[in-house]
């Protein structure tokens, strides 16, 4: 079929502006043909080029003594974990594909992130995810939710990787535009790090994996535009179809091939398929590549050069082989029963030259394609809605009065899908395959063991080598409501909660990866959200010495009704010194002391931790108010103290206070030690917070003019003379952790914490079958069995 004429309308259909098209003509010195236009459109999409966000990303900390491969240099970063061992990890989104085809969209999101990791020479050993959906009462949301979870489970379980952690939130802002962020971590030795550069003039270029089809066509461009009903229908073909069993074969073959030393460069065919893999490897190597599309295995009849170059068919890799070692490569691919083809050669021209049916169908400079996309500094303007957010007060919101109100509120919060147990999700995952999971889903962070058999095999392996196991903690966090109400503070809180979850598990953060899920960057108010959130993330990662090793930007996440809540997902990895330091969140033994590290309520927050809280959303149908203050110095001090207490011994459990506040966290400590429905291990507690409500009725003087007029996060104004019960029980004041220890250790632990400058107080005792809490003159009691049923089965009941 003849190629269509290049018209302004066709250029626009490829999401290229008139100015960008002029730049393309300037680079080529001529008009592009249809295939070249398609190639530029995907390489200059936001998904591949970060043309709207690259200036912001430069603000992230990316260096530390542990960084072996920094962010942006390869498919994923690499960090040293000692003894010549390293880890590679990354998170990426598959939001738009999952909105169109939830099962395949989520499944291929997992497949793509797995390839990013084993492309680095690392063996994938753990996965997690971060998911966002609309209101679960909506049948369409339930369809998307079920399809996404099934897709993740199918691909991960079939590949044979444990999915060990994650998070799931439900909010109307994600209606029609779910977020599916997939994370993978792999392990390798320092000498096994692989590079994605096309080096060695004359080296052959190999294609390995299944044949190329028309699935996934121009998926990168699809992910870089607003999601509408029309675009969903038109782009259904942009969703790839995955085969996890094929991916497993590709992974094993590539790891074996890398060990031979015959590989000069390796790159997965992810976004933009053959296009991205060829031009990026050539750009990194300072070389060119010549491709012959007639040699590319094809699944569909009469495929055009446009389709072959832009297809995102899954489980495919591009490998640059040392000349003269082709037979080794063929032998290994044949051993693993994998399709392969020698499709090209590395050249010294710097050009990506593509031939098809005896003709040159594309001839363009590789580096210009990969590195010289236009960069935009978008206008940023503070959203108008923030004026009302900052003016929000608790006036008109009556405090909780009596045990019945407290009882009802706790049950509502535990049944709220964003807080309720996510066992409906994680029980579909095989989270113990490979026998390296030390702490399963359901605690503050997952913990995995790095064993000798976790490592990629090497012909130089010494069977008698002494191998000391390593222990890693993984978590993923973000509160989209906080980021909507204050993007800068929300960004900081995402990082501090991730770091706090690692500390509660006994780990010290060593690195992080982010997934920036935002709306249309052309909207100044939405771009301001992005800019401020990145500023908060960067400050947080610097404070915890957790450099960003890579990540993903996903923009245009909105439906015709508006943009999603800004959601900068933060995944963080920490190192645990020894197995004895692994700590879980649930209470352990009768008679143990319960200690609160941190202030029960932030006296300098005019909303007492209720701004943006789950309590306001669930009990008052209100998402407003400035979020809780986030002081990075206080957060770091708490984490350092907690980690020191854990490493000194004596701490039996640790659980951070986040969504739902102190009472929800205490309830979770009582009921969360239940890896299966059949064997819940419940234990009660007696809590006394009555002294916290004995506050002076004298008005608190304002410290400054800004305090007097109620600026964001100002101190308690004179209109709030005493501590509210709802704030004490359900406020989300930051930098708080509940720990338990044996009764004789309690005084020692509180004294050590205070010595470090961290407030600490014993608030109760573990034991019995009920959770009882006294606040002021009110005492409320719950059966742990009933609490567990409410919390454990909430999503089951919603999905029934």
Q: How far is CA 446 from CA 147, 539, 622, 662, in A?
A: 24, 25, 32, 22
d(CA 2, CA 760): 75
Specify the DSSP class assigned to residue 726: H
State the distance between the two ends of the chain, measured CA to CA, in whole angstroms. 50
d(CA 145, CA 515): 19
Bridge partners, residue 424, by sequence:
none
- Please enumerate in sequence order all residues whose Cβ is within 8 A of that of 744, keeping only pairs 6 or more positions apart, or say none: none
Residues 554 and 93: beta-carbon distance below 8 Å: yes
| Angle at alpha carbon of residue 678, lines to 673 and 684, rounded to 5° | 40
Residues 199 and 265: beta-carbon distance below 8 Å: yes
Per-position b or e across 752-778, b if 16+ CB within 10 A of its CB: bbeebebbbbbbbbbeeebbebbbeeb
Residues 128 and 441: beta-carbon distance below 8 Å: no
How far is C-alpha 265 from the geometric centre of its chain's CA atoms?
28
Per-position b or e across 398-436, b if 16+ CB within 10 A of its CB: eebeebebbeebbbbbbbbbbbbbbbbbbebbbbebbeb
Q: Which two tokens stand for residue 260?
A: 């031979």
The angle, 0 to 180 degrees and rounded to 10, between the axes of the packed helices 273-285 and 34-43 is 70
State the maximum Cα–Cα separation within the chain, in Å, rounded to a whole number. 88
Kindly give the residue spans of alpha helices, DSSP state H, lying in 364-486: 366-371, 385-391, 403-415, 423-426, 480-485
Query: What is the SS3 assignment for 300-368?
Result: CCCCCHHHHHHCCCCCCEEEEECCCCHHHHHHHHHHCCCCEEEEEEEECCCEEEEEECCEEEEEEEHHH
Residues 281 and 289: beta-carbon distance below 8 Å: yes
Q: Which two tokens stand for residue 582?
A: 């692994």
- Please enumerate in sequence order all residues whose Cβ is within 8 A of that of 734, keeping only pairs 6 or more positions apart, or say none: 493, 496, 602, 609, 628, 629, 630, 631, 634, 635
d(CA 795, CA 786): 16
Q: Which residue reads 């203050």 in tokens?
A: 629
- Please enumerate in sequence order all residues whose Cβ is within 8 A of that of 119, keeping only pairs 6 or more positions apart, or say none: 74, 75, 76, 194, 196, 254, 266, 267, 268, 317
Phi, psi (5° rounding) for residue 693? -90, -5
Residues 546 and 564: beta-carbon distance below 8 Å: no
Query: What is the SS3 assignment for 656-687?
Result: ECCCCHHHHHHHHHHHCCCCCCCCCCCCCEEE
Neighbour-count burial of 789, counting CB atoms closer than 10 A to its CB (0-12 exposed, 13-18 middle, 19+ buried): middle
Q: What is the DSSP string of 191-225?
A: GG-------STT-EEEEESSPB-STTTTHHHHTTS
| Angle at alpha carbon of residue 45, lines to 40 and 50, rounded to 5° | 125
d(CA 519, CA 522): 9
Write out the catalytic residue numbers. 47, 94
Specify the DSSP class assigned to residue 494: H
Residues 251 and 235: beta-carbon distance below 8 Å: no
């Amino acid at each position: 079929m003849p190629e269509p004429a290049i018209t302004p309308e066709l250029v626009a259909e490829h999401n290229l502006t008139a100015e960008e098209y002029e730049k393309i003509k300037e680079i080529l010195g001529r008009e592009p043909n249809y295939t070249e236009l398609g190639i530029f459109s995907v390489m200059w999409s936001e998904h591949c080029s970060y043309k709207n966000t690259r200036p912001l990303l430069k603000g992230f900390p990316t260096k530390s003594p542990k960084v072996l491969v920094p962010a942006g240099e390869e498919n994923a970063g690499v960090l040293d974990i000692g003894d010549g061992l390293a880890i590679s990890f990354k998170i990426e989104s598959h939001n738009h594909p999952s909105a169109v085809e939830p099962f395949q969209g989520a499944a291929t999101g997992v497949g793509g992130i797995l390839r990013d990791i084993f492309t680095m020479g690392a063996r994938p050993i753990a996965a997690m995810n971060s998911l966002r959906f609309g209101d679960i009462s909506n049948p369409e949301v339930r369809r998307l939710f079920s399809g996404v979870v099934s897709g993740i489970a199918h691909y991960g379980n079939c590949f044979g990787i444990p999915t060990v952690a994650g998070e799931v939130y439900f909010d109307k802002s994600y209606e029609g535009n779910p977020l599916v962020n997939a994370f993978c971590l792999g392990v390798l030795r320092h000498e096994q790090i692989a590079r994605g550069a096309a080096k060695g003039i004359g080296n052959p270029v190999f294609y390995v994996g299944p044949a190329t089809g028309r699935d996934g066509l121009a998926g990168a461009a699809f992910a870089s535009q607003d999601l509408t009903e029309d675009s969903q229908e038109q782009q259904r073909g942009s969703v790839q179809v995955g085969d996890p069993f094929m991916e497993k074969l590709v992974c094993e073959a590539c790891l074996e091939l890398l060990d031979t030393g015959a590989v000069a460069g390796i790159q997965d065919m992810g976004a933009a398929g053959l296009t991205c893999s060829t031009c990026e490897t050539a750009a990194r190597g300072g070389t060119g590549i010549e491709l012959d599309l007639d040699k590319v295995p094809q699944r569909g009849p009469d495929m055009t050069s446009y389709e072959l170059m832009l297809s995102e068919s899954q489980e495919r890799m591009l490998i640059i082989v040392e000349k003269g070692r082709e037979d080794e490569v063929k032998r290994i691919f044949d051993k693993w029963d994998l399709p392969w083809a020698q499709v090209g050669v590395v050249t010294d021209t710097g050009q990506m030259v593509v031939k098809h049916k005896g003709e040159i169908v594309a001839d363009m400079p590789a580096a210009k394609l990969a590195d010289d996309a236009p960069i935009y500094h978008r206008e940023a303007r503070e959203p108008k809605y923030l004026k009302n957010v900052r003016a929000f007060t608790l006036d008109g919101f009556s405090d909780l009065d009596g045990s019945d109100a407290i009882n009802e509120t706790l049950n509502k919060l535990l049944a709220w899908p964003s807080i309720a147990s996510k066992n409906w999700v994680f029980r579909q995952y095989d989270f113990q395959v490979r026998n390296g999971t030390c702490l399963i889903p359901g605690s503050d962070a997952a913990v995995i063991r790095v064993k000798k058999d976790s490592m990629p095999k090497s012909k130089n392996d010494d069977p008698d080598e002494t191998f000391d196991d390593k222990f890693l903690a993984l978590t993923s966090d973000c509160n989209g409501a906080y980021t909507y109400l204050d993007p800068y503070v929300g960004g900081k809180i995402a990082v501090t909660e991730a770091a706090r979850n690692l500390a509660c598990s006994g780990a010290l953060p060593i690195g992080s990866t982010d997934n920036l899920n935002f709306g249309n960057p052309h909207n100044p108010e939405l771009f301001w959200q992005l800019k401020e959130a990145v500023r908060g993330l960067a400050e947080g990662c610097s404070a915890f010495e957790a450099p960003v090793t890579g990540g993903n930007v996903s923009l245009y996440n909105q439906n015709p009704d508006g943009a999603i809540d800004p959601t900068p997902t933060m995944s963080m990895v920490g190192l645990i010194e020894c197995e004895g330091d692994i700590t879980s969140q649930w209470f352990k033994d009768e008679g143990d002391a319960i200690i609160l590290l941190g202030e029960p309520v932030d006296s300098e927050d005019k909303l007492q931790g209720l701004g943006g809280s789950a309590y306001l959303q669930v009990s008052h149908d209100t998402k407003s108010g400035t979020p809780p203050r986030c002081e990075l110095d206080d957060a770091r001090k708490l984490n350092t103290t907690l980690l020191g207490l854990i490493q000194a011994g004596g701490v039996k459990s640790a659980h951070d206070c986040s969504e739902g506040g102190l009472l929800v966290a205490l309830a979770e400590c009582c009921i969360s030690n239940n890896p299966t429905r059949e064997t819940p291990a419940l234990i009660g507690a007696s809590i006394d917070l009555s002294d916290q409500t004995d506050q002076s009725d004298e008005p608190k003087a304002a410290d400054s003019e800004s305090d007097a007029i109620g600026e964001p996060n100002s101190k308690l104004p004179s209109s709030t003379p005493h501590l509210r019960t709802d704030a004490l029980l359900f406020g989300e004041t930051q930098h708080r952790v509940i720990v338990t220890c044996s009764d004789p250790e309690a005084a020692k632990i509180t004294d050590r914490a205070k010595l470090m400058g961290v407030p600490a107080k014993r608030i109760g005792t573990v034991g019995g079958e009920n959770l009882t809490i006294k606040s002021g003159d009110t005492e409320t009691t719950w059966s742990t069995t009933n609490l567990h049923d409410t919390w454990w089965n909430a999503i089951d009941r919603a999905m029934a």
